[in-house]
A = this chain, B = another copy of it.
Amino acid sequence: MEFTVKFSPIGKRVMENRPRVLLDMARQAGVGLKSLCGGKGKCGKCKVVVNPANGVTAIERKLLTQDEIAEGYRLACCTSVKENTEVYTPASSITEEQKLQIAGKDVEVKPLPPVRKFHLVLPKATLSDLRPDLQRIKERLNRKYKVKVKNMDIKVLNIIGPTLRDSDWSITVIVRGNEIIGVEPGNRTKESFGIAIDLGTTKIAFYLVDLLTGAPINICGITNPQTAYGEDILSRIHYAGSTRTNLKKLKSEVLKGINLAIKKICRESRVEREDILEATLVGNTAMHHIFLGLPVKQLGLAPFTMATNEPLEIKAREVGLEICCGGYLYLPPLIAGFVGSDHLAMLIASEIETEEGNLITIDIGTNTEIALKTKGRIISCSCASGPAFEGAHIKHGMRAATGAIERVNINSKSLSVKVSTIDDKSPVGICGSGILDAISEMLRVGIIDSSGKMNSGYKGVRRIRGGKSLQFLLAKEGRREITVTQQDVSEIQLAKGAIRTGIEILLEETGLKVHDIDGVIVAGAFGTYIDPLKAVRIGMFPEIDIGKFTQVGNAAGIGAKAILVSKKFREEANQLVKKVEYLELATHSDFFEHFTSAMRFPKIK
């Protein structure tokens, strides 16, 4: 009898009609589970939560903690399934490669690119056919493909003559709207690529896509080089807004980084940079403005006025972006001074408009954007959650890189701490999901109370040398100690408090209660790696049934990709932006009241 195994939160399904080992089924579904030992029951990396839960094997008893077994954790290599089953794959069990590509919901995009290539074989110019080159091309395009063009990029006009004559009058013409943006010798219609860029305050993600099929070719990510000039948006605005030179510097830094990344992704994918015919870029308003060289001083002062919020189509070379010479960069519209096109792209990717019910989307980043959709309204706000979840302002904080503590378990009786690190290397610091886990566990076992105060009576809690403040020891490697300090707890309280405040004010604004919420979509790199249970436990999210959470990965990037590949999605974004209502939190009358309460931790029941 046939049965289905569903992998959540990735949202992949496999149909099967005989008992099979979960690890194999995950491979078949394209879910990249970690498995250092190759499925031999030795590494204990392929942890999943199986529902309904199976019996426990001897190997599992050895490699899993008692708490884990009680919570339903099993090893995918030791578990056979023979009925309808739901398998929860924690982020820590997913391979790095998979993490980058993670996307709970795949948006179906039928390619309708704004750029098309046409192959033409033209009659040669003779004394009885004196038509200029451009006219010759235009007339053929119209006759053969019913495509009417008006303009030709001046730089393309520069090469049209030799291209025609060197290729025996067989050329490929690149058309965008009513403009010819490129000509190439021979037939190169198949080489049509685009690049979608998600320009975050901290990270920049690149998606190289085949424009003809919409298929992803490659993905890569870099750290925003502007980070050296300020970690959060406000410090970036302050720096860029103080002098024209500073703005130019930030612009050129990010541009240099982006151009290098494009060069690299092309080389790795064996794609010519000149075959990238179109680019899209999404980002928060400050990143968008700085990238274009727009003044941002005004974004740092009330009323936080944007230079423009309109969708922009700019010759890529006009802003220094290195793709095909005549190619364009498309920037979807912005929503407000602190809610940019990344949020819009995320709303597009999560299909919030067409989904039923009352939905919340949360894109956690240095700035966290939250939208609430209910009865045809979409209200968005922005919370300055800061870079703490990216490891900044945390004593032993670090990026999600090798050696970062990403999971923490504290035994509630012995108070012994078990950490797991990225790539299973010796711990060198704590990344975002690690600090969230640590604080959630510290709260659970009572090391901190609901005010966030650390309790000195617990094992592992000690004074910071030369100070009065307390810290809790997570791991010790030789003489290096990795701790969570009282100050770290406060930073996380500020961050999660900001997010929770946004959610609360949105609920208040719409008159909805927590139990009215039908779904929560969590996006962003950090949002994808966290355990929603623990986020609820520390009060970052309200107490919403854990089954209502979906983790969708970099939805802004997925949206940027859809907007890149399809004119329909551009139109959709342009329509959607008009519907989104912006709620300014900073000037909201109840802000401080909510914020004060949201910084506290929930009482442990």
A1 proximal to B (CB < 8 A): no
A290 to chain B, nearest CB (A): 11
Closest B residue, CB atoms, query A314: B154
| A307/B134 in contact, CB under 8 A | yes
Given A127-B303, A292-B157; A308-B132 close (CB under 8 Å): yes
A463 proximal to B (CB < 8 A): no
Closest B residue, CB atoms, query A292: B154
Name the B residues within 8 Å of A318 (CB-CB): 154
Complex Cα distance, B314 from A131, in Å, reads: 22
A133 proximal to B (CB < 8 A): yes
* Option from B129, B131, B307 in Cβ contact (under 8 Å) with A157: B307
| A161/B314 in contact, CB under 8 A | no
Q: How many copies does the complex hold?
A: 2
Complex Cα distance, B154 from A471, in Å, reads: 51
Instruction: Return the CB mask of A77-100 against B: 1 if under 8 Å, else 0.
Output: 000000000000000000000000
A293 proximal to B (CB < 8 A): yes
Question: Could you list which residues of chain A lie within 8 angstroms of chain B, going by C-beta atoms?
Answer: 125-127, 129-135, 152, 154, 157-162, 165, 292-295, 297-298, 302-310, 312, 314, 318-319, 336-337, 582, 584, 587
Name the B residues within 8 Å of A295 (CB-CB): 158-162
Closest B residue, CB atoms, query A334: B132
| A135/B312 in contact, CB under 8 A | no
Complex Cα distance, B135 from A318, in Å, reads: 22
Apart from A132-B307, A133-B305, A154-B318, 20 more pairs, CB < 8 Å: A125-B303, A127-B302, A127-B584, A129-B303, A130-B303, A130-B305, A130-B337, A132-B306, A132-B309, A132-B310, A133-B298, A133-B307, A133-B308, A154-B319, A157-B294, A157-B307, A157-B308, A160-B307, A161-B294, A161-B305
Complex Cα distance, B85 from A49, in Å, reads: 111
Tell which of A135, A162, A308, A310 has the most Cβ of chain B within 10 Å.
A308
| A308/B135 in contact, CB under 8 A | yes
Name the B residues within 8 Å of A293 (CB-CB): 154, 158
A126 to chain B, nearest CB (A): 6
Complex Cα distance, B154 from A292, in Å, reads: 8
Tell which of A127, A157, A292, A312 has the most Cβ of chain B within 10 Å.
A157
Closest B residue, CB atoms, query A125: B305
Name the B residues within 8 Å of A309 (CB-CB): 132, 135
Name the B residues within 8 Å of A130 (CB-CB): 303-305, 336-337, 582
Complex Cα distance, B305 from A161, in Å, reads: 9
Complex Cα distance, B305 from A133, in Å, reads: 7
| B303/A134 in contact, CB under 8 A | no
Which 6 A-B pairs have CB atoms at the shortest separation, nearest pair first? A134-B308, A132-B306, A161-B295, A125-B305, A127-B303, A132-B309
A251 to chain B, nearest CB (A): 10
Closest B residue, CB atoms, query A584: B127
Complex Cα distance, B130 from A582, in Å, reads: 10
Listed A/B pairs (27) with beta-carbon separation below 8 Å: A125-B303, A125-B305, A127-B302, A127-B584, A130-B303, A130-B305, A130-B337, A132-B306, A133-B305, A133-B306, A134-B307, A134-B308, A135-B308, A135-B309, A154-B292, A154-B293, A154-B319, A157-B307, A157-B308, A158-B292, A158-B293, A158-B295, A159-B295, A160-B307, A161-B294, A161-B298, A162-B297
Name the B residues within 8 Å of A319 (CB-CB): 154
Closest B residue, CB atoms, query A132: B306
Name the B residues within 8 Å of A304 (CB-CB): 130
Name the B residues within 8 Å of A154 (CB-CB): 292-293, 312, 314, 318-319
